[in-house]
Structure 1
Amino acid sequence: MCRNIKNLYNFEPPATEEEIHASSLQFVRKLSGFNRPSRANEEAFNRAVEAVSRAARELIDSLTTTAPPRDREVEAEKARTRSALRFGRPADGTA
């Protein structure tokens, strides 16, 4: 799994279209092996990003849970702490 693709489900506030598009772009980049497609492949690449974005929005909108929505700031702090433990850097970003 691409580490740059973030979990977007069950957050308050809900995932924005920009967040879904960014995750979709990362997914298509990973699948295609292109960070930036050539002009010959650009149209197909962009169509794929839009199709994945639509599918992601449909999925997120149709999922249900009884769990309370997660707080973005709390989850971001957890991610910083995991990163600090993994890479041996301070969680506050100082070096």
Structure 2
Amino acid sequence: MCRNIRTLHNFEPPATGDEVRAAALQYVRKVSGSTSPSQANEAVFHQAVEDVARITAELLDALVTAAPPKDREVEAAKAKARSEKRFAA
């Protein structure tokens, strides 16, 4: 489940709110052991996603680095090349 959480720090353009929320959702799903909460847990599940997303956004805003920002397209191409090499027939 957590394989979909990607590094969000130090990219150009910066991570979007949707990317932060998607990572938060994956995290809460993993921690709770549930991809879809029961009705009894739905409110607390969604509140946890919002809280994690908010804290993650605060973290990303506060982090500093001397490294130049990574290019999303270049990093995606590298990941694709690694995947092709790993799963080559």
Q: TM-score, normalised by structure 2?
A: 0.95
Instruction: Quote the residue 1:23 is aligned against.
Output: 23
Q: How many residue pairs align between the two structures?
A: 89
**Unaligned ranges ≥5, structure 1:** 90-95
SS of structure 2 residue aligned to 1:60: helix
Please list the CA deviations of residues 22-52 of structure 1 after superposition, one character each: whole Å capped at 9, or x if unmatched. Answer: 0000000010111111111100100100010
Instruction: Quote the residue 2:7 is aligned against.
Output: 7
SS of structure 2 residue aligned to 1:3: helix
Instruction: Quote the residue 2:39 is aligned against.
Output: 39
Q: How much has 1:9 moved relative to structure 2?
A: 0.3
Q: Percent identity?
A: 60
Q: TM-score, normalised by structure 1?
A: 0.89
**Unaligned ranges ≥5, structure 2:** none
Instruction: Quote the residue 2:82 is aligned against.
Output: 82
Instruction: Quote the residue 1:92 is aligned against.
Output: none
Instruction: Quote the residue 1:54 is aligned against.
Output: 54
CA distance, structure 2, for counterparts of residue 48 and residue 82 of structure 1: 33
The structure, 1 or 2, with the larger RCO (C-alpha pairs under 8 Å, 6+ apart) is: 2
